[in-house]
Amino acid sequence: MLDRYQQQQGKMIADTVAVDRDALQAFTTKVSREVLGGLNCALTFVGDQLGLFKAMAELGPTNSEALSEHLGLSERWVREWLYQQACTHHIEYDESTSTFSLSPEASIVLATPEHPAYLGGMLHSVTAMYETLGDLPESFRTGLGQSYDDKGESCACGIERMSKKFQSDHLVPDLLPRLDGIVGKLEAGAQVADVGCGAATSTVAMGRAFPDSAFSAYDISVNALARAKGNIDASGLSNIRLCNSDHDPLPEDGSLDLVTTFDVIHDSTHPRELIRAIRRSLRDDGTWLCADIRGGSSFEENLRENPFAGMAYSFSVLVCMSSGLSVPDGAGLGTLGFHEQKAREMSEAEGFSRFRLVEYEGDQFNAFYEIRP
């Protein structure tokens, strides 16, 4: 059906304008695949939310009757969803037994949250963005974006699911030891702020590993703070304090040993002021661990060399730049706007004098900077 549609579209346009028919066909096919990708992303997320993939991984080869009964769902809906997922090759169908199953790889990507290749969090974030698509035309006209809270609870939840794996499993054992003297300070008892903590999975991981240190988790999003509170309460830790930066800002007395920001600066409306506040909060021998999106220092470099640029600019228009422009004088750096060169320039301008790119390849989207007064 898609092929015939593409051919008709291509013929209609080719009849009226002098174009290369093959190139037109190829481009129509490309966009049609993306349309299918959008549909598939939404319905794969439905499977993730309902536990359909997880149940399939547990049950092995199954059919709509068994799967719907297992999950207490309507058989007819499950059957159509299975047909859809089979035709888009997320799941496999065995005609000889009329059963559907997940390949081992699909089981990892769609049903194993503990695995680094699991994409449930990404699906969650992307579909959360669909909810606010209706706001974009107005933003394009006025220039004003939407804050993280305007994007709703699912956006905070999707970000949490995307970040959790690295922050829970790798931040403490793999990344912190690469910073100069930080583990020793944390073991001895340090004052730490995790700024833009989101759901505080990073703060909880550090708080658990370093019981003698005191952590303050800051955010401005009510939805993020609610998720952070749930996670901090569930952890049972008493060395983490949760702060809404709007009412309870960073200390200005140079009392902190470590400030962390995980994907915050490029999103913030006033990054210069935030960097200045971080500098003011830090002791002269303190450290700012800044994680921000890996990328080139120009659009051209990203276009040529960055395989994630298309995804990053998509996130930017839908969430990151939008958040950075959610007030009239917002900076709107955008997802790829706080690259290494920019981070060097801006931190130096706000009183930092030492800047080091931390060698760590365990996160495909983020670069990590050790920035010191």
Cβ atoms of 182 and 176 closer than 8 Å: yes
Exposed, middle or buried by CB within 10 Å (0-12, 13-18, 19+), for 5? exposed
> What DSSP string runs through 66-112?
HHHHHHT--HHHHHHHHHHHHHTTSSEEETTTTEEE--HHHHHHHH-
| CB of 97 vs ligand SAM, minimal distance in Å | 42
Cβ atoms of 313 and 298 closer than 8 Å: no
> Is 352 one of the binding residues for ligand SAM (CB under 6 A)?
no
Span from 2-10, 16-24, 264-272, 339-347 in contact with ligand SAM (CB under 6 A): 264-272
Span from 57-65, 159-167, 297-305, 353-361 in contact with ligand SAM (CB under 6 A): 159-167
Cβ atoms of 271 and 333 closer than 8 Å: yes
Query: Which of residues 257, 263, 292, 363 is near ligand SAM by CB under 6 A?
Result: 263
Nearer Cβ to ligand SAM, position 141 or 247? 247
State which of positions 124-153 bind ligand SAM (CB under 6 A): 148
Query: Which of residues 67, 78, 159, 278 is near ligand SAM by CB under 6 A?
Result: 159
| CB of 29 vs ligand SAM, minimal distance in Å | 34
| CB of 277 vs ligand SAM, minimal distance in Å | 8
State which of positions 185-244 bind ligand SAM (CB under 6 A): 195-198, 218-221, 224
The closest residue (CB) to ligand SAM is 198
Contacts of 216 by beta carbon, 8 Å cutoff, 6+ apart: 192, 193, 194, 240, 241, 242, 243
Give the chain's radius of gyration (CA, Å).
23
Q: Determine the distance from the C-alpha atom of residue 88 to the mean position of all C-alpha atoms in its chain, rounded to a whole number.
A: 25
Exposed, middle or buried by CB within 10 Å (0-12, 13-18, 19+), for 305? exposed
Residue type, 306: N
Nearer Cβ to ligand SAM, position 53 or 166? 166
| CB of 246 vs ligand SAM, minimal distance in Å | 8
Nearer Cβ to ligand SAM, position 48 or 263? 263
| CB of 333 vs ligand SAM, minimal distance in Å | 11
Tokens of 328: 């009239």
Cβ atoms of 158 and 121 closer than 8 Å: yes
Query: Which of residues 57, 123, 258, 264 is near ligand SAM by CB under 6 A?
Result: 264
Q: What residue ranges bind ligand SAM (CB under 6 A)?
A: 148, 159-160, 163, 195-198, 218-221, 224, 245, 262-264, 267-268, 274
